[in-house]
Structure 1
Amino acid sequence: MTGHLSIGVDATTWWNKRGFGRFTRGQLGAMLDDPRGHRFVLFVDQEPVDEMIRPNVDIVRVETSATVTDSAVADGSRSVGDLLSFRREASSRPLDVFWFPAVYSWYPVSGRIPTVVTFHDAIAEHFTRLVLPTLRGRLFWNLKVWLAKRSARHIATVSEAAREEIVRYLHIPRRKISVILEAADEQFHPITDEQELRAARSNLGLPLDRRLLLYVGGLAPHKNLAGLIEGFARAIGNGGLDDLDLVLAGDPKGGGFHSNVEELRALIAEHGLEDRVHFPGFVPEPVLPALYSGAVAVAMPAFSEGFGLPAAEAIACGTPVIATEGGAVSEVVGRAGLFFDPRNPDDIAEAIAKIAGDPALLAHLKMECLPRAAELSWSHSASAMMDLLEAHARGRA
């Protein structure tokens, strides 16, 4: 390909505290390092961060009544005025292609600009009432998704499992969807310094003298944390795991998304596990590598995941994963994990007992972690996305 492109990017998801934000920071950050010479125009609704300030980047600050991270959430909606402000700014630029890192922050742009939208999954369609419990939230979400998929030149997603879910529940032709895997940031690597490991726990109010089974992510119904708690209760009830605690790390308010944390607390109390299950709240990214590294394993029990970024981060830190069988996380971790039926608490309990009660198995799984993690990289993901944007740029598709 000859000639440089002007690539518009909705960068509002940079500030999201969940997986959307980590995906945007990882993939877009690597794309800005790509040496192809294209120019990026980032549309933001907050003050740009230092990582965005580069010679090949123009930043357009759009004035809005509320930021995307506050308004484009489960029970909220963005104002028409804010959507029109973004449309006006994006449509007035001489862009060759436009990329949305997540459909949740989508807004309309001029039909003359080809768009590529990353759909991370179709969980909201697959498990609608678990993700969008209110009729108002479902109506706004369905309208946004319908408009986004109808106007997009092409769709990107983050795993083969996600693509199959999108084909089934969003009825988008498979040929219109490209899979581009995610990765863990470079900060995720094994931490062996005992002082750093202890400091991470201490700062989060976690016990220093216990082994930890760790969950990191949203505290939402579709994440199946109730199933994980039930499986944990059965595993420790069977004996031999007296030194094992469960940590559910995530924003208890849901970060704007639906949360069922009170139901989880009630279930914990029902089992008498108040001193064995911990809620440290949202964990800042710089603390996560030490938290992952000090855990026995990371649990990913969701009924569905688009990718499962915490799983990639865990294995990059040398920590194996127990997860839902047959889904995206099994793609991510490969031989570095054990898998279970998420609807069967006994199956979850068995996976917990195996990984926490069999030192030889745990050592074997740990050996599989780093080789698998090395196969995933943001630079590879960014290169694939750049290829996709070039292929669908105006006049080139």
Structure 2
Amino acid sequence: MSGATLRVVLDQVASPAPNGVGRYGLELVRQLIATAPRGCLVSGIVPSSPEAEYARITESLPGLAGLYKSALDRSQLAAAWQHGFTRLPGSGMIHAPSLLAPLYRHDRFSAPEEQIVVTIHDAVPWTHPEAMPARAASWARAMGRRAERYADAVVVPTHAVAEQLSTVLDLGDRIRVIAGAVSTSLVLPDDADAVADSLSLPERYVLAVGPFTARTGIRDLVWAMVDLHAPAVPLVLVGAGAGPRDELESVLQDARIPDDRVVELGALSDAELAVVYQRAHALVMPSIAEGLALPALEAMSLGTPVVHSDAPTLLEVAADAGLVVPRSDASTFPRRLAETLRDLLSDDAQRQELAWRGRDRAKAFTWRDAAEKTWQLHSDL
């Protein structure tokens, strides 16, 4: 593979506040550059964007060998690649940190340098399509079918996602599990007290991190917090101002939760998020389905206990470092969630033990490991 260039699709990384996929791409590419085999380079492929966003990419990714700028914006590129249009100039290895990829017929066996690898972060578009926007689910399923036909490998974050995908897509042995990790910029600032004051954080609180959709179990969580058995602390919602709010607003109204029991913080900087995680008495993830379950890892890395459902990915990622509340009986789930939170917040010894376990568990996931496995995948192909 000496002298090869790995071209990475930089999906949603140019935004001033990149989403989960954008952050994943930034962290992965930084380490792909740092761990590149001798003579290998990493370049980027990016949708048409303002010049300021191109500059942000090159500043965020020092060592990037080049940047191919498509004439199409992201929505146009997504539509074109969904229908098999717009091949890239030149040839070589392509790695997509999402399903946004130029998937087309090629012969890797006669031309080994022709490789296309995509990433599928979760199986929700197939297993729970009702829990996401219909258009997004339809696009993901269409791109999944193209990956089934043309991808040389498909990266997934957990074995749970691999198993779920194997029931809906015929990928054979092309699935490779490569987990992500906590963002390297999620670090407590020196002025943590001042940050907490500026956010008006309660002294004690339970935390949830968005998006707040049916898939992430927001309805069950809000009903748990108004249950008679719930701890008498506020629920802090991070990310509540980002993306569709219909589900969140509906459940807040239905549950009639008092205003002083909910704190909506919207989108936060990494420094602010680190403070909110670290000061929470528990992070709650009552999810129906997850991909990497990054909020659990982020909270554990900062010593915050995690209470989560028995969604397969959460069980895999948290291992024995979190408290599990099974979703088996939907009618009693909010009550059982409330009781678990009440017991945890009244037991300092258990919270401390979970903090120790969580920190150790989070250390098992690193971006360097993800990058080295990605290079090995392309080498194996």
The bucket for the TM-score relative to the shorter chain is: 0.7 to 0.9
Secondary structure of residue in 1 paired with 2:91: coil
Correspondence 1:63 to 2:71:
yes
Secondary structure of residue in 2 paired with 1:332: helix
Task: Give the CA deviation at 1:374.
Answer: 1.7
Distance 1:82 1:376, change over 3 A: closer
- Runs of 5+ unmatched residues, structure 1: 393-397
Question: Whole-Å Cα distance in 2 between the matches of residues 213 and 29 of structure 1?
Answer: 33
In structure 1, which of residues 52, 66, 83 is the aligned counterpart of residue 61 of structure 2? 52
2:354 maps to a residue whose letter is L
Secondary structure of residue in 2 paired with 1:275: helix
Q: 2:222 corresponds to which residue?
A: 229
Q: 2:111 corresponds to which residue?
A: none
Post-superposition CA distance 1:89-133 (Å, at most 9, x none) = x2x2231x2111011x2333562532111111111111111213x
Q: 2:96 corresponds to which residue?
A: 100
Distance 1:138 1:360, change over 3 A: closer
1:1-397 matched pairs, under 5 angstroms: 3-15=2-14, 17-37=18-38, 38-45=40-47, 46=49, 47=54, 48-54=57-63, 57-64=65-72, 66=73, 68=74, 71=75, 78-80=78-80, 87-88=86-87, 90=88, 92-95=89-92, 97-103=93-99, 105-109=100-104, 111-112=106-107, 113-132=114-133, 134=134, 136-173=135-172, 175-188=173-186, 191=188, 195-196=191-192, 198-204=193-199, 206-208=200-202, 210-234=203-227, 237-238=228-229, 241-242=231-232, 244-254=233-243, 260-268=247-255, 270=256, 272-342=257-327, 343=330, 344-392=333-381
- Runs of 5+ unmatched residues, structure 2: 108-113
Aligned residues: 361
Distance 1:207 1:289, change over 3 A: closer
Task: Give the CA deviation at 1:213.
Answer: 1.0
2:285–2:309 CA contact under 8 A, matched in 1: yes
Post-superposition CA distance 1:59-81 (Å, at most 9, x none) = 112222x3x3xx38xxxx94439
Structure with the greater relative contact order (CA < 8 A, sep ≥ 6): 1 or 2? 1
2:122–2:291 CA contact under 8 A, matched in 1: yes
2:23 maps to a residue whose letter is R
Question: Whole-Å Cα distance in 2 between the matches of residues 264 and 186 of structure 1?
Answer: 34
Secondary structure of residue in 1 paired with 2:95: strand
Task: Give the CA deviation at 1:186.
Answer: 3.1
Task: Give the CA deviation at 1:305.
Answer: 0.6
Question: Whole-Å Cα distance in 2 between the matches of residues 60 and 3 of structure 1?
Answer: 22
Task: Give the CA deviation at 1:144.
Answer: 2.3
Task: Give the CA deviation at 1:333.
Answer: 2.2
Task: Give the CA deviation at 1:26.
Answer: 1.6
Post-superposition CA distance 1:19-72 (Å, at most 9, x none) = 212211222211111141311221012313412241x521112222x3x3xx38
Question: Whole-Å Cα distance in 2 between the matches of residues 287 and 377 of structure 1?
Answer: 22
Give TM-score scaled by structure 1 length: 0.83
1:122–1:170 CA contact under 8 A, matched in 2: no
Question: Whole-Å Cα distance in 1 between the matches of residues 142 and 198 of structure 2?
Answer: 42
Secondary structure of residue in 2 paired with 1:185: coil
Percent identity (aligned): 21
Question: Whole-Å Cα distance in 1 between the matches of residues 180 and 161 of structure 2?
Answer: 12
